[in-house]
Amino acid sequence: MWLSDRKKRALQKKDVDVRRRIELIQDFEMPTVSTNLRVSKDGQYILATGTYKPRIRCYDTYQLSLKFERCLDAEVVKFDVLSDDYSKIVFLQCDRYVEFHSQHGRYFRLRIPKFGRDFSYHYPSCDLYFVGASSEVFRLNLEQGRYLNSLQIGRA
């Protein structure tokens, strides 16, 4: 039985058993293996990537259900949510590609110079920093839409 939020709150105030109840997200699973998990900044969405077939699943914690599922071209090494909800996502894939997704699907795809192992997003400058199989850190500026000079990492 589905209740509105107002009726749920009223019922929780009256009934102790309802307050102790645990609600589970429907279909909160991955067919094979889940490799990465992120929660959106607003806390409403849980995003998970999996292998074979490479995919992403987005779960809505307010509705306790699967919001969407998308299949990808390659396995995801790492991903990050750039917006407060799921509307801007970036994926670093094992085939040297970086994919940008909007809420409607794949928006743009580009290849990075070396195989990537990790990345980080710097919000003030809109730069994505990629590290991988070399001593260079590649910088992609999302505002300008181009690579900037790479940074050299010294070995200790």
Q: What is the pLDDT along the chain (156 residues), one digit of tens a residue?
A: 455 667 767 777 777 776 666 666 666 777 788 888 999 998 899 999 988 889 999 998 888 888 888 999 999 999 999 999 889 999 999 988 999 999 888 999 999 888 888 999 999 999 999 998 888 899 999 899 889 998 888 765
pTM, 2 dp: 0.77
Cα angle 47-34-57, degrees, rounded to a multiple of 5: 35
Grouping H, G, I as helix, E, B as strand and the rest as coil, residue 31 is coil
CB 59 within 8 A of CB 46: yes
